[in-house]
Amino acid sequence: MHSLRYAILLTPGTHDLSIQLGYYMSLAGVGQSPADVVVNTVYSADQGNSYNGGSTQNFWRSAEGLTVLQDSVWAASQACPLRRITFESNLALSENGGYSSGGFIGDCTVGGSIDFVTQQQ
């Protein structure tokens, strides 16, 4: 069992950040609404290092309370929720059409397109 957990808490404002979330990482905007905390992009994909072309090994990460400006990839398996996020652009739920298994998306809006691709759950 892994004993370390990581939390990135962003204060209200616009942050010139592209944030990749790995195992045991949580990202949270601490504004009153998602519009209070703005970042460039958030992604969970391994950016080319996914297991056999898929993301079924991407567990235990989360993001919430943000506005995301650019295209984002949330290629994940279980225990990877997205909550209270406004995606101004596109959201892909797998990396380059590879396998992905699930996660949870709640109270989010996507201004562009959402690509479900290979979602199993």
Q: How many domains does the chain have?
A: 1
Tens digit of pLDDT at every position of the chain (121 positions): 567 889 999 999 999 999 998 888 999 999 999 999 999 999 886 655 545 556 666 678 899 999 999 999 888 777 788 999 999 999 988 877 767 776 788 999 999 999 887 665 5
| 5 in any annotated domain | no
pTM over 0.75: yes
Domain range for 16 is 12-115
CA atoms within 13 A on the CB side of 34: 20
Helix, strand, coil share (%) of the chain residues, nearest 5? 0, 40, 55
DSSP symbol at 58? -
| 27 in any annotated domain | yes
| 1 in any annotated domain | no
DSSP symbol at 9? E
